[in-house]
Amino acid sequence: MNHFPEAWGRPRDDVYGAYNSTYLQTSGPKAHTTSPAVTGTSVLGVKFKGGVVLATDNLASYGSLARFTDVKRLRVFGGKAVVGFGGDVSDMQYIDRLLESIDIRENYSSHGNMLNAKNLHTYLAKVFYKRRSEFNPLWNHILVAGFDADDQPFLSSADLLGTTFSSPHLATGFGAHLAVPILRRKFPDERGIETISREEAIEALKECLKVLFYRDARSLDKYSIAVITQEGIDLREDEQIEGQSWAFAETIRGYGSQTS
C-alpha cells in the first residue's frame, strides 16, 4: 500500500500511468460557470381570478441522467410569494439561502416581512443582472408568483441575464416551447384572467406537465404545484401525473430503433 496520503483515492501510477497534468489548466482566463451542472427543467405559471398557480416537476438532471427525483423547485418566500426555479440546482439553493436571509432581515421590522412578489421579482432580477455583469451568472430562469402592492395577482419571469418578462401565463425552459402554446390556446389574451377559475388553471398546468413529460426527455411525472391566493399558499410537493397514455408513442418514428 502507498502510505502517502496525497496518492490516496487516485488511479495508481503503476497501473494507469502518471497523471497528465496538462489537463489541469494553470494559466489562461479565469472561467466562472460556463454551463450548468445539475439542472431542473421547465417551470409553469398561470394567473387566474384571484391568484396564481405555479408548477414544476421534481427532477434534477445531471446532464441527461435523471439524477435526483425528489427536488423541490418551488420555494415559498415570506408566506406571500412563491419562486419557481429552472436551471442550475446549486444556484437555486444559493438564491434560496439569499431569500431566507432577506426574510429574516425583514422580520426584524415591527410589521414583519412586507415585501410582496413584485418587490421580490425586482430584487431577484437585479441579483441576476449583477452576476451576469460580473461574468459569473446564476444559471437559472425563474418565475415569481404572488401579489403586487395593489393586491392584484402577479406573475413574472427573470433569467440568468437579468431579463424580465411578464405575461398572464409563463413557462421557462422546454415549457416555453411546449406549454406556452397550449396555455395560449386555452387562455387567449382576449379572455382576461377574470374569466379563469382556479380549477381551470390547475387543470391546464397538469395538462401541460403531462405533455412535457411525454416530450421533454429531462422531465419527470412527479411534480410540485403551488396555488397562491389571498387566503394563503397551497403547496403540494409530492404529486403524480395522472392518466398517462403512451399510445401515441407507437406512431413516432425517426429516432432510436425505429428510424424508418
Query: Cβ 132 to other proteins, closest distance in Å?
Result: 16
- 119 binds other proteins per the rule CB under 8 A: yes
Q: According to CB under 8 A, which one of 33, 90, 93, 122 is a site residue for other proteins? A: 122
Query: Cβ 249 to other proteins, closest distance in Å?
Result: 47
Catalytic-labelled residue, pool 22, 33, 41, 69: 33
Task: Name which of 44 and 115 has its Cβ closer to other proteins.
Answer: 115
Task: Name which of 116 and 224 has its Cβ closer to other proteins.
Answer: 116
151-154 contacts: CB < 8 A, separation 24 or more?
A: 151/230, 153/47, 153/48, 153/50, 153/51, 153/52, 153/193, 153/228, 154/52, 154/116, 154/117, 154/118, 154/121
* Burial state string for 10-48 with b = 16 or more CB within 10 A and e = fewer than 16: eeeeeeeeeeeeeeeeeeeeeeebeebebbbbbbbbbbb
Task: Report helix, strand or coil for 12.
Answer: coil
Query: Cβ 106 to other proteins, closest distance in Å?
Result: 9
Query: Cβ 119 to other proteins, closest distance in Å?
Result: 4
Query: Cβ 150 to other proteins, closest distance in Å?
Result: 9
> Which of 81, 89, 151 has the alpha carbon at shortest distance from 122?
81
- Cell reading at 226: 403551488
> Which of 150, 153, 77, 74 has the alpha carbon at shortest distance from 112?
77
Per CB under 8 A, which region of 69-77, 108-116, 171-179, 194-202 contacts other proteins? Answer: 108-116
Task: Name which of 74 and 115 has its Cβ closer to other proteins.
Answer: 115
Strands, sheet with 169-171, edge to edge from the N-terminal-most edge strand: 169-171, 43-48, 51-57, 222-229, 232-240
- CA separation for the pair 236, 212 (Å, rounded): 19
- How many chain residues touch other proteins (CB under 8 A)? 13
Q: According to CB under 8 A, which one of 66, 104, 114, 252 is a site residue for other proteins? A: 114
- 166 binds other proteins per the rule CB under 8 A: no
122 is catalytic: no
- 131 binds other proteins per the rule CB under 8 A: no
Print the binding letters for residues 136-165 with other proteins: x by CB under 8 A, - otherwise: -------------x----------------
Q: Which residues are catalytically annotated? A: 33
List interacting residues with other proteins (CB under 8 A).
109-111, 114-116, 118-120, 122-123, 126, 149
